[in-house]
């Protein structure tokens, strides 16, 4: 069995700073094959986590990433890296930008943004299940560029969702108005005997309802803001997406 390659691809400008990469790190790196089902952002996130774990004092984290990233690419992704123009990559941001431009092209970005903007609740879907599905769509495209009020609007504009959100808000407001003693009494009641008063689920206690933080996150501590919600059409984009992706080549 041949030892792993420890030299940089031709597309990367030779390193001037010396950095020793210990061989035992390479097998721990995530892999990316360039398949449509893979998410480049998730790959980079996991890759950075491994690099941060093994970063030694004084070592440049960007240099470490630049030197190790090629070992994570397999099959189609590795062929792409080796096809880049020699010495065209000087820094980690350069390599990351090229990687995202290749494996998260504009049409993929636009498709995921449409999933967010056209989001709707499924029939008989619980509120918190719908919210989790919506967050999955957002996290799949962290460079979406939608401002907070617009994300709320997309989620809330569905007629069925309006009713669900309003009902959740009313139940949350009623719950928070109760005395602490009453809440404690509810928590001592068997889940099988009484459903959650917020979402009617028998799977958890009322104070553990997953819809509580969801409603608070979307609309703040005052649930009645739902009835007063008015989007600020003059708001700028960019308050909800990860700033690390602001330089994505396909961001518009």
Using one digit for the tens of pLDDT, what is the confidence trace for 44-68?
A: 999 999 999 988 766 789 999 999 9
User: For the segment 15-36, what is each residue's pLDDT rounded down to a tens digit?
Assistant: 777 777 888 899 999 999 999 8
d(CA 177, CA 50): 46
Q: How many domains does the chain have?
A: 2
Per-residue pLDDT of the chain in tens (252 residues, 90 and over written 9): 444 455 567 788 887 777 778 888 999 999 999 998 999 999 999 999 999 998 876 678 999 999 999 999 999 999 999 999 999 999 999 999 999 999 988 888 888 899 899 888 887 888 788 888 989 999 888 888 888 888 888 887 765 666 666 666 766 776 666 655 565 565 555 444 567 766 667 677 767 777 667 666 655 543 443 344 444 444 433 344 444 444 555 544
Listed residues 77, 104, 131: the one ending a domain: 104
Residues 100, 112 share a domain: no
**Are 97 and 166 in the same domain?**
no
Cβ count near 131 (within 10 Å): 24
Q: Is residue 1 part of a domain?
A: no
Are 118 and 171 contained in the same domain? yes
* Whole-number average pLDDT of the chain: 76
Neighbours of 201 (CB within 10 A): 17
Helical (H) or strand (E) element with 101: helix 92-103
Q: Judge if pTM exceeds 0.85.
A: no
Per the DSSP assignment, residues forming a β-bridge with 73 are 32
- Residue 125, domain extent: 108-238
Q: In the prediction, which pLDDT does 167 show?
A: 67
130 and 121 in contact (C-beta within 8 Å)? yes
Cβ-contact 36, 30 below 8 angstroms: no
CA distance 237 to 252: 10
């Amino acid at each position: 069995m041949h030892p792993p390659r420890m030299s940089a691809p031709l597309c990367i400008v030779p390193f001037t700073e010396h950095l020793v990469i210990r061989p035992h790190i390479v097998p721990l790196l995530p892999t990316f094959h360039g398949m449509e089902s893979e998410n480049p952002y998730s790959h980079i996130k996991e890759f950075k986590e491994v690099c941060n774990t093994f970063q030694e004092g004084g070592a440049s984290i960007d240099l470490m990433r630049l030197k190790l990233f090629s070992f994570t690419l397999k099959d189609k992704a590795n062929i792409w890296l080796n096809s880049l123009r020699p010495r065209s990559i000087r820094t980690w941001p350069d390599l990351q930008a090229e990687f995202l431009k290749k494996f998260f092209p504009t049409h993929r970005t636009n498709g995921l943004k449409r999933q967010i903007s056209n989001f709707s609740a499924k029939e008989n879907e619980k509120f918190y299940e719908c919210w989790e599905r919506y967050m999955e769509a957002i996290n799949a495209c962290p460079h979406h560029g939608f401002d907070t009020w617009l994300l709320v609007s997309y989620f809330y504009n569905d007629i069925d969702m309006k009713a669900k959100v309003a009902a959740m808000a009313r139940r949350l407001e009623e719950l928070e108005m109760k005395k602490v003693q009453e809440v404690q009494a509810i928590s001592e009641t068997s889940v099988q005997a009484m459903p959650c008063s917020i979402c009617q689920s028998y799977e958890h206690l009322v104070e553990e309802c997953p819809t509580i933080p969801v409603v608070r996150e979307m609309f703040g501590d005052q649930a009645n803001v739902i009835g007063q919600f008015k989007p600020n059409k003059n708001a700028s984009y960019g308050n909800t997406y990860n700033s690390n992706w602001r330089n994505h080549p396909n961001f518009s």
